Amino acid sequence: MTDDDTTQIPEPDQPPEPEQRRMTRPRDDRVFAGVCKGLGRYFNVDPVLFRVAAVALIFFGGAGLLLYIAAVLLIPNEGEERPESRRRRDRALAVIGVVLLVVAAGSIFSHGVFHAGWAFGPFVFIGLAALGVWWLVSGERPRGDARDVLRSVVRGIGVLIICTALALGGAWLAGAGGGTAAAIAVIAAGAILAGAALEGYGRWLVLPALSLALPVAFVSAANIDLHGGAGDKQYVPASAAQVRDSYRVGAGRLVVDLRDAQLPPGDRPLKLRVGVGEADLIVPDNVCVSTSAKVGMGAVDSFERSNGGVDVDWVDQPPAAAGNPRIVLDAHVGVGRVLISHFRSEDFGPGYRKFYRPLPQPGDEVNSGCEVTHAR
Amino acid sequence: MPAKLQLGPLVAGLGVIVLGVLALLDSTNVISLGFGALAPLACAVAGATLLASGLTRSG
C-alpha cells in the first residue's frame, strides 16, 4: 500500500456557519431614515408596528423622536461601513440622546406625562413641521443619516420663518387698512407662481404664496379691523354723559360696563368694534339691549342665549319696557366673541373668567329691561 | 404641453390669483367675502392643486 493508495476519508458535513444577523437601515421603502423598517426586518415583525409606536412615543415628552435620532446614530445604513472615528462620534451622540431621554423620563415621572409632553411638544412639533415643510417645497424625502435629517430640519425651519413672516405681514397689512394693497400683493404672488410653474420651478413658491394668500383672505372674510390698538381696554362711565358712541380695540378685550351710567329712558346707539378678541357689554337690569352683531369666526353670547360658528349674524331687537332705557348695539368682532350680560366675570372673583362662571339662575340673566324677555 | 410645465404649482398659482381677486373685491366693497364662500373655495384650490400634482406625477 502506497501513499497513493490511501483514500481520503471525507470529513463529515459541517453544519453551515450561521449567517451573522446585523441590524441595518434599509435604503428602500423607508419613510424617514429607515429605522422602523430595519427594526421590523431584524425582528421579523411588520415595521408598521414600530412606526405606530414611534409616533405614539413622540407625544410622551418627545421620547419617540429622541429614540429615533439615537437609533439613526446607532444603526448603520444598509451596505455602509463607517470608519471607527465616525462610529465613536455617533456613539457619543447616542449617549447624549440617551441622557436626554433620561431627563425626559425624569420630567415625566416628576411632573406627569402631560406636563412633560407640553414641555417637549413644541420642539417636537416644530421639528416635524420643518421636516414636512422641507419635504413639500423641495420634494426631497428626509432620508440619510442624522446629519442629513438635521439639515432638512434647519432648511425647513428657514422656510417656516419666511412663510410665517409672509403670513403675519399679509394679515397685518389687510387688517390695518391696507386690504387693497394686500390683495394686489396676493394677485402678484399668484401670477409669479403661475409664471414660475410654466418655467418648471414653481414648486418652491407654492407654500410662500399660500402663506401670503390664505391669511389675507382670512382677514378679509372675517372683516378683521386692527385699528384701535392691542390690549385690554375697560370703560366704566359714571354718568350717561360719559358714555361714548363707539368703542374700539384692534386685538384684545374690550369691556364697556354701563351699570353706573344711569342712562335715561330712550334709545342710545352704541358701537363696539374688536378685530380679534372679545367685546363685553355689561348693562344694569333695567336697561334693554337691542343687538345687531356680526362675528366672522366665534360667538355671540347675549344674556341666556348664544350662537357661534363662522359668519355669525345676530339680530335681536326687542323694544324697551315702558320707562326703561335701551342700548341699540352695533357690534363687529372679526375673530372672537360678543358678550352681553348683567355681570362682569371679575364679579365672581379675581381672575375669574366669564367662561367658568356658574350657570345663571332663572331670572338673573335675561334681557330684563325689554318689553318681552326671552324664555329660557 | 411644454415638458417643463408643473401643473400642480400652476393650478395653485391660479387659485392664489382667484383668492387675491376676491380679497380685492371685498376690500373695495364690491362683494362681501365671508367664510361661507372662502372655506369651500380654499378647499377647491387645495383639491385642484393636489389633483393636478397627482395627474402630473402619474404621467
Confidence of residue A264 (pLDDT cuts 50, 70, 90): very high
pTM greater than the 0.90 cutoff:
no
Confidence of residue A16 (pLDDT cuts 50, 70, 90): low
Confidence of residue A167 (pLDDT cuts 50, 70, 90): very high
Instruction: Answer yes or no: do A202 and B6 touch at CB < 8 A.
Output: yes
Instruction: Answer yes or no: do A191 and B35 touch at CB < 8 A.
Output: no
Name chain B contacts of A197, Cβ cutoff 8 Å.
5-10, 12-13
Q: In chain B, where does DSSP find H-type helix?
A: 7-27, 35-57
Q: What is the ipTM of this complex?
A: 0.91
Least confident stretch, A22-31, A196-205, A354-363, B33-42: A354-363
Residue A118 has pLDDT above 90, yes or no: no
Confidence of residue A94 (pLDDT cuts 50, 70, 90): low
How far, in Å, CA of A218 to CA of A224, rounded? 9
Collect all residues from A whose CB is shorter than 8 A from any CB in B. 174, 179-180, 182-203, 205-206, 209-210, 213-214, 216-218, 220-222, 296-297, 310-311
CA-based nearest distance B33→chain A, Å = 5
Q: What is the DSSP letter of A51?
A: H
Q: What is the pLDDT of residue A78?
A: 78
Name chain A contacts of B49, Cβ cutoff 8 Å.
206
B31–chain A Cβ distance below 8 A for any pair: no
Q: What is the DSSP letter of A370?
A: B
Q: What is the pLDDT of residue A40?
A: 83
> What is the overall mean pLDDT for chain A?
78
How far apart, in Å, are the Cα atoms of A123 and each of A36, A41, A126, A301? 22, 30, 5, 36
Picking from A100, A132, A130, the residue whose alpha carbon sits closest to that of residue A116 is A100
Name chain A contacts of B15, Cβ cutoff 8 Å.
190
Instruction: Answer yes or no: do A216 and B20 touch at CB < 8 A.
Output: yes
Mean pLDDT in residue range A334-345:
85
Residue A274 has pLDDT above 50, yes or no: yes
How far, in Å, CA of A98 to CA of A310, rounded? 47
Helix (H, G, I), strand (E, B), or coil: what is residue A86?
helix
Closest residue to B34, CB basis, from A195, A199, A221: A221
Mean pLDDT in residue range A120-127:
69
User: What strands, in cross-sheet order, belong to the sheet with A266-282?
Assistant: A233-235, A246-257, A266-282, A325-341, A288-302, A305-316
